[in-house]
């Protein structure tokens, strides 16, 4: 307890990050990855504790299967899966973070998704736990994961028709001015009027609109509208 | 109520008890010196039928079981006093403030001192709704339903800045900007989260409120329209 | 030991003959029962009916003969906040379970894109509100990588000290809540005594009682104060006894062991596949601890082992927490002994603008598992994208896996042993 005392700043200990907290050698990992997945992966960045690769979004299942099952790679854990929006004129991106016992670095795998038709294969067959990650990305970003058996909204209510974490969803000072035509109508039966959302100027994709037409056709058109 | 034959009515004013000697014996009960003047209960003659089963016939002074001898007040005041000292909160926590609310209820900051310990799990048995934590638009419906299930009279305490105004999440797309948009609030306790002492202070303010507003339900009906506007507000 | 007569068999209503049921229905003036499975939608649980959106939802909300839906929450004392569970039951046995989240979704990730890097550290505070220090630790690590700056050694030690203190009271509350969900009121009182002491201790160093807001990019807000030191030594002298007393009340209790041992079992492979981390994963026998697997802060300088349990049931998850409390106290001793002198805050400008296009990933071992942050910079004062991976959000997925076959009353014990915090689940 005697060492815990107030002390004055010493200027010489301040400074830029010089020593790596986790000294790693990313070379073997990069080499073995490019050996196994030569054409599929593109090495982008090696940080002090992160190795970053870009992959083709159509090959995500193949790449992830190799990463998980190859005994030398053995990335057994899906640490994180996140969606990133690069703006209305750019693309979406799905970012996976993986961990392996054999390599003391986080592996970051980035996959671009077309914004007009945001589809990518689901990895729930490899990791069951990707389910909530993908549902969250669908809810917040509108990315559709093909092969996910339970791709419905997870945070917002089922009748919500916008994707809040896209960049063209502006955060207003008052939620009533939101481009999503207001927020969740409080889960009250009398406010479950789907027609209210039909003309909402939210973020829509052709694929989503087709799905909406299929699901809500009976209620909107047949319901005496 | 007694159904049997009517008991002989005991005269309370005719003969005064014997003057107290000041010496207590085993066969003669001790009678205080002040009881030399007979006390007359005004309603006793009028409501004799109702009070008869509780009469203490063998008591030298007369009177009734379980009753104060003099009631110089109104029933409303007594009821408010009773309510103020046994406010039972609903066991409903939304987020962070709920942990501080539990801390207020447990040993270190004992809210039981003010008659507030039994957190009721059912809204039918609760008097106070402490909205502890951020109210989101998805949760607003269930919370209003809870509030409507609570019997009158009832009070609402908004705990924390999220419930008073939206707090740090005021700009969010999914947060109700203050719980007073969906239900009437009696006491606001600011803080993020408020310390347990803060919540106890708010509860003592609520005690004052309960004692001041007699006949709370009438007040509640007066401000009824305030709470049915919630739907348009939040949208 | 009571003996059960094998001849006596209580008839299960599920197994009633269909003809008998039709006869009863006709006698009661009811419609004949539907022939096949019937999609019930949300009608049974108080929400309007609508067509199923996914394959899984159709499977969950389609009721076979003898099944019914039971709704728990979002306001239920035992669901640890505003979680809502929909259980499909046959009699009292759970067949399937669905989780409905989002009742506390506050949009922290979106709000963080509108806040400066320092302000983001205040936004993450109320996320997992029982491990506030950990919530700030991961963004601090990520932003320091982003800005390419390093916190001074003393700041790293103070950080490790406060996060271990936070872990102690978080696990201690888990012990109390788990016992409370089985009807034992006393342990939660002891847990809150312990929790209040640690929280007051941490408020002596940070100035705020629950949402501490103590971490800064490149250091911590304050150096340790005299009040903190005196409180810490007082707390340290009696914490062992408090923990022991709470453990003595719970661990050997016959009702407690009967309701936790052998319930909610997860194998190691399944737990990894489900994305469980932290004590929940280690209780299944996987020695994954971010403090060892990918050391951050000063954990490579401390001596400790990764504790694991083998059973993988609710009791193992409880015992794992108890062991980790003691481990954290052991770590606190080491940190206090090794704490160096020096500054607690590196020199950073008031508004931080990292280089555009940089990405950083910061991960810490929170009391509930791997808590990580992925931040992206576009050169401005705000993060372009700020992503948080909360462990309790992911570990809740184990509920539909563990629950089938158990009784409805076991839901409380199992969910409480996972120790979710809804502020983190819903962000």
Q: What is the pLDDT of residue B61?
A: 64
Is residue B24, in this structure, part of any structural domain at all?
yes
Are C360 and C375 spatial neighbours (Cβ–Cβ below 8 Å)? yes
Co-location of B107 and B60 in the same domain: no
Do B106 and B195 belong to one domain?
Answer: yes
Q: CA-CA distance, C261 to C314, in Å (whole number)?
A: 6
Asked whether residue C304 is domain-assigned, the answer is yes
Only one residue has tokens 């809040």, namely A164
Q: Which domains does chain A have, with CATH numbers?
A: 24-217 (3.30.460.80)
Q: Taking the CB of residue B80, how many other CB atoms lie within 10 A of it?
A: 21
Chain C residues whose beta carbon lies within 8 Å of the beta carbon of residue B192 = 126, 211
Mean pLDDT of C253-267: 88
Give C354 to chain B, closest Cα distance, Å.
25
For testing the chain C interface, which of B101, B110, B119, B133 should be mutated: the one with the most C CBs within 10 Å? B133
Q: How far is CA C51 from the centre of its chain?
A: 32
Domains held by chain B: number: 2
B181: in domain: yes
Same-domain status, B88 and B192: yes
* φ/ψ (deg, to 5) at C41: 65, -155
Is B1 a domain residue?
no
Tokens of C258: 């009967």
Distance CA C237, CA C322 (A): 18
Expressed in percent and rounded to 5, the helix, strand and coil fractions of chain C are 45, 15, 40
Does any domain span residue B190?
yes
Nearest Cα residue in chain B from C422 = B95
Residue C61 pLDDT level (bands cut at 50, 70, 90): confident
Give the residue ranges of DSSP H helices in C216-313.
226-250, 254-260, 268-274, 279-282, 290-293
Q: Which of B164, A153, B131 is nearest to C75 (CA)?
A: B131
Q: Give the pLDDT mean for A95-123.
A: 89
C32 belongs to a structural domain? no
**Chain-chain contact of C359 with A108 (C-beta, under 8 angstroms):** yes
What was the pLDDT predicted at C141?
92
CA angle, corner C85, sides to B154 and B147, nearest 5? Answer: 10
CA-based torsion, B120, B121, B125, B131: positive or negative = positive
Closest CA to C386 of C82, C13, C110, C56: C110
CA dihedral sign of residues A51, A55, A60, A64: negative
B144 and B210 together in one domain:
yes
What percentage of residues in chain C have a pLDDT greater than 90? 26
The answer on B206 and B119 residing in a single domain is yes
Does residue B115 sit in the same domain as residue B182?
yes
Structural domain boundaries enclosing B65: 20-72
Q: Which of A73-87, A197-211, C260-274, C371-385 is predicted least confidently?
A: A197-211
CATH (domain of B178): 3.40.50.12280
What are the tokens at C361? 């990933």
Residue B124 domain-assigned (yes or no) = yes
The pLDDT, as a whole number, for residue C30 is 60
How much is the pLDDT for B62? 65
Q: Is the peptide bond before B153 cis (omega within 30 degrees of 0)?
A: yes
Residue C28 lies inside a defined structural domain of this protein = no
Indicate the DSSP class of residue C39: E
Question: What's the domain count of chain C?
Answer: 1
Sheet strands (E) in chain A: 41-46, 50-55, 77-85, 92-99, 106-113, 119-121, 144-146
Beta carbons of C205 and C228 less than 8 angstroms apart:
yes
Q: What angle do CA C32, C37, C40 make, to 5 degrees?
A: 90
Within a domain: residue C87?
A: no
Apex CA C401: angle with CA C395 and CA C404, to 5°? 140
Of C111, C152, C273, the CB nearest to A14: C152
**Domain end (from B55, B72, B89):** B72
The answer to whether residue C75 scores a pLDDT higher than 80 is no
Q: Find the range with the poorest average confidence among A92-96, B23-27, C13-17, C412-416.
A: B23-27
Name the band, by pLDDT with cuts 50, 70 and 90, for residue C248: confident
Looking at residue B71, what is its pLDDT? Answer: 54
**Structural domain contains residue C406:** yes
Give the nearest partner residue to B91 out of C77, C130, C196, using CB atoms. C77
In the predicted model, what is the mean pLDDT of residues C74-81? Answer: 73
Quote the pLDDT of residue A41: 78
Q: Do A150 and C273 touch (CB under 8 A)?
A: no
Domain interval for residue C178: 108-426
Q: Would you say residue A178 has pLDDT above 80?
A: no
Strand partners, C376: C359, C385
- What are A42's two structure tokens? 């593109």
Q: What pLDDT tens digit does each residue of chain B (235 aa) get?
A: 444 444 444 444 444 444 444 444 444 444 444 445 555 554 555 556 666 666 666 666 666 665 555 555 666 677 778 888 888 888 888 888 888 988 888 888 888 888 776 788 888 888 889 998 898 888 887 888 888 888 878 888 999 998 988 888 887 888 888 888 788 888 899 988 899 999 999 888 888 888 776 444 444 444 444 443 333 333 2
Which residue in this structure is represented by tokens 């052709």?
Answer: A206
Say if the Cβ atoms of C275 and A129 lie within 8 Å.
yes
Q: How far apart are CA C313 and CA C267, in angstroms?
A: 9
Across the interface, whether the CB atoms of A151 and C343 are under 8 A apart is answered: no
Mean pLDDT of C346-371: 88
Q: What is the DSSP string of A76-105?
A: -EEEEEEEEE--TTS-EEEEEEEE-SSSSS
* Interacting residues of A45 by C-beta distance below 8 A, sequence separation 6+: A51, A52, A108, C359
User: Can you tell me the distance from the alpha carbon of C136 to that of C122, in angstroms, rounded to the nearest whole number?
Assistant: 8
- Same domain (yes/no): B60, B94: no
Q: Look at residue A151 in the predicted model and tell me its pLDDT.
A: 87
Q: Is the torsion defined by CA of A161, A167, A168, A174 positive or negative? A: positive
To the nearest whole Å, the CA of A35 is away from the closest chain C CA by: 25
Dihedral, CA atoms, C342, C344, C346, C347, nearest 10 degrees?
-100
Q: Is B234 exposed, middle or buried (0-12, 13-18, 19+ CB in 10 A)?
A: buried
Q: Is residue B68 part of a domain?
A: yes
Whether residue C261 is predicted with pLDDT greater than 60 in this model: the reply is: yes
The predicted structure's pLDDT at residue C159: 93
Count of helices and strands (H, E) across chain B: 9, 3
Give chain C positions within 8 Å (CB) of B108.
Answer: 192-193, 196
Q: Tell me, yes or no, whether C54 lies in a domain.
A: no
Clarify whether residues B127 and B189 are in a common domain: yes
pLDDT in tens, C109-149: 988 988 888 889 989 988 889 999 999 999 999 999 888 88
- What is the spatial distance between Cα A138 and Cα C87, in angstroms, rounded to a whole number? 24
User: Does residue C1 form part of some domain?
Assistant: no
Q: What is the mean pLDDT of residues A121-134?
A: 91
C210 → closest Cβ in B100, B108, B121 = B100
Tell me the pLDDT band of A102, cut-offs 50, 70 and 90.
Answer: confident
Q: Is B28 helix (H, G, I), strand (E, B) or coil?
A: coil
- Looking at the fold, whether B116 and B33 belong to one and the same domain comes out as no
pLDDT tens across C166-194, in order?
999 999 999 988 888 888 888 888 889 88
CATH code, domain with C405:
1.10.645.10
Residue A189: its pLDDT value, please?
A: 38
- B142 with B204, same domain? yes
Mutate to test the interface with A, among B137, B140, B231 (most CBs of A within 10 A): B137
User: How near does any CA of chain A get to the CA of B155, in Å?
Assistant: 22
Last residue of one domain, picked from the residues B72, B96, B112: B72
C275 touches chain B (CB under 8 A): no
- Asked if the structure places residue B3 within a domain, the reply is no
Residues 165-224 of A with CB under 8 A from B: 169, 171-176, 178, 180, 182-188, 191
Element (H, E) at B210: helix B196-212
Q: Are B193 and B97 in contact (CB under 8 A)?
A: yes
Q: Is C99 on the interface with B (CB under 8 A)?
A: no
Considering the domain boundaries, does residue B33 fall inside one?
yes
Q: What is the mean pLDDT of residues C13-27?
A: 60
Window A:144-173, CB contacts with C under 8 Å: 149-158, 164-165, 169, 171
CA distance A184 to chain B (A): 6
pLDDT higher for B47 or C328?
A: C328
Give the end of a domain, one of B42, B72, B102: B72
Is the domain of B133 the same as that of B68?
no
CA distance C374 to C359: 7
Q: Are residues B30 and B103 in the same domain?
A: no
**CB spacing of A175 vs B141 below 8 angstroms:** no
pLDDT 10s digits, B194-226: 999 999 998 888 888 887 764 444 444 444 444
| CA proximity to C258, closest of C313, C308, C310 | C313
Asked whether residue A213 carries a pLDDT value surpassing 70, the answer given is no
pLDDT of residue A176: 43
The C93-100 sheet, strands edge to edge: C67-72, C84-90, C93-100
Any B CB within 8 A of C340 CB = no
Name the residue in chain A with its Cα closest to that of C334: A1
Q: Establish if C412 touches chain B: CB-CB under 8 angstroms.
A: no
Distance of CA B46 to the CA centre of its chain: 30
Tell me what pLDDT residue C132 has: 92
Query: Is the per-residue pLDDT at C205 higher than 70?
Result: yes
Nearest alpha carbon to residue C364 among C281, C295, C285: C295
Per-residue confidence at A214, pLDDT binned at 50, 70, 90? low
How far is Cα of residue C317 from the mean position of the Cα atoms in its chain?
Answer: 12
| pTM for the whole structure | 0.76
């Amino acid at each position: 307890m005697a060492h815990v005392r107030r002390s004055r700043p010493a200027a010489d200990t301040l400074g830029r990050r010089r020593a790596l907290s986790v000294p790693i050698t990313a070379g073997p990992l990069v080499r073995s990855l490019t050996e196994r997945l030569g054409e599929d992966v593109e090495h982008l960045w090696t940080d002090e504790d992160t190795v970053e690769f870009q992959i083709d979004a159509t090959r995500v299942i193949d790449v992830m299967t190799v990463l998980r099952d190859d005994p030398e790679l053995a990335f057994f854990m899906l640490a994180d899966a996140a969606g990133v929006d690069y703006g209305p004129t750019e693309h979406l991106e799905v970012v996976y973070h993986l961990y392996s016992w054999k390599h003391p670095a986080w592996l970051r795998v980035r996959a671009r998704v077309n914004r007009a038709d945001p589809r990518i294969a689901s990895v729930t067959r490899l990791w069951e736990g990707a389910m909530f990650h993908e549902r969250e990305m669908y809810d917040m970003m509108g990315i559709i994961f093909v092969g996910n058996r339970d791709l419905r909204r997870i945070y917002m209510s089922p009748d919500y028709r916008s994707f809040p974490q896209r960049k063209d969803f502006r955060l207003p000072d008052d939620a009533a001015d939101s481009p999503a035509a207001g927020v969740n109508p409080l889960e009250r039966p009398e406010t479950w009027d789907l027609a209210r959302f039909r003309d909402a100027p939210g973020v829509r994709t052709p694929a989503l609109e087709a799905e909406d037409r299929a699901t809500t056709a009976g209620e909107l058109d047949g319901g005496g509208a | 109520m007694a159904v049997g034959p009517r008991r002989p009515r005991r005269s309370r004013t005719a003969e005064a008890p014997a003057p107290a000697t000041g010496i207590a014996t085993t066969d003669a009960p001790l009678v205080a010196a002040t009881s030399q003047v007979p006390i007359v209960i005004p309603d006793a003659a009028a409501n004799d039928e109702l009070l008869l089963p509780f009469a203490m016939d063998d008591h030298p002074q007369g009177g009734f079981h379980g009753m104060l001898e003099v009631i110089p007040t109104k029933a409303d005041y007594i009821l408010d006093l009773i309510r103020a000292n046994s406010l039972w909160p609903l066991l409903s926590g939304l987020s962070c403030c709920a942990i501080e609310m539990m801390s207020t209820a447990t040993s270190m900051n004992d809210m039981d001192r003010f008659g507030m310990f039994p957190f009721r799990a059912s809204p039918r048995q609760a008097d106070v709704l402490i909205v502890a934590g951020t109210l989101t638009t998805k949760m607003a419906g269930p919370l209003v339903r809870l509030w409507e299930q609570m019997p009158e009279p009832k009070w609402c305490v908004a705990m924390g800045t999220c419930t008073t105004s939206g707090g740090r999440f005021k700009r969010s797309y999914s947060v109700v900007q203050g719980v007073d948009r969906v239900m009437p609030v009696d006491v606001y306790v600011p803080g993020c989260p408020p310390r347990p002492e803060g919540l106890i202070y708010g509860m003592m303010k609520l005690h004052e409120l309960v004692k001041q507003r007699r006949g709370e339900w009438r007040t509640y009906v007066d401000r009824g329209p305030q709470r049915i506007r919630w739907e348009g507000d939040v949208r | 030991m009571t003996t059960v007569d094998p001849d006596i068999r209580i008839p299960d209503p599920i197994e009633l003959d269909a003809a008998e049921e039709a006869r009863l229905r006709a006698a009661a003036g009811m419609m004949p029962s539907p022939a096949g499975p019937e999609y019930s939608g949300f009608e049974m649980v108080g929400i309007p009916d609508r067509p199923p959106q996914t394959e899984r939802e159709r499977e969950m909300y389609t009721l076979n003969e003898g099944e019914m839906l039971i709704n728990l929450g979002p306001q239920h004392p035992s669901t640890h906040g505003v979680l809502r569970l929909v259980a499909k039951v046959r009699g009292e046995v759970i067949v399937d379970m669905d989780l409905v989240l989002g009742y506390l979704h506050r949009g922290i990730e979106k709000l963080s894109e509108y806040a400066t890097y320092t302000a983001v550290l205040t936004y993450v505070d109320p996320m997992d509100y029982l491990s506030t220090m950990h919530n700030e630790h991961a963004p601090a690590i990520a932003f320091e990588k982003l800005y390419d700056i390093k916190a001074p050694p003393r700041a790293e030690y103070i950080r490790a000290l406060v996060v271990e203190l936070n872990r102690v009271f978080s696990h201690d509350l888990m012990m109390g809540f788990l016992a409370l969900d089985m009807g034992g009121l006393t342990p939660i009182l002891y847990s809150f005594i312990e929790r209040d002491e640690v929280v007051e201790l941490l408020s002596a160093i940070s100035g705020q009682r629950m949402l501490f807001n103590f971490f800064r990019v490149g250091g911590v807000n304050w150096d340790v104060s005299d009040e903190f030191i005196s409180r810490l030594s007082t707390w340290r002298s009696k914490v062992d006894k408090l923990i022991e007393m709470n453990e003595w009340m719970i661990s050997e209790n016959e009702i407690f062991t009967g309701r936790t041992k052998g319930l909610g079992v997860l194998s190691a492979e399944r737990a990894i596949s489900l994305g469980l981390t932290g004590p929940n994963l280690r209780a299944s026998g996987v020695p994954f601890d971010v403090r060892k697997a990918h050391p951050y802060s000063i954990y490579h300088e401390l001596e400790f082992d990764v504790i694991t349990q083998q059973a993988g049931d609710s009791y193992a998850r409880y015992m794992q927490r108890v062991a980790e409390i003691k481990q954290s106290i052991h770590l606190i001793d080491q940190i206090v002994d090794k704490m160096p002198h020096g500054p607690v805050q590196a020199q950073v400008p008031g508004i931080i603008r990292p280089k555009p296009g940089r990405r950083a990933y910061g991960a810490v071992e929170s009391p509930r598992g791997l808590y990580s942050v992925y931040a992206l910079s576009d050169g401005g004062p705000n993060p372009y994208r700020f992503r948080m991976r909360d462990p309790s959000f992911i570990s809740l997925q184990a509920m539909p896996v563990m629950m089938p076959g158990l009784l409805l009353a076991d839901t409380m014990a199992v969910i409480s042993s996972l120790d979710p915090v809804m502020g983190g689940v819903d962000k």
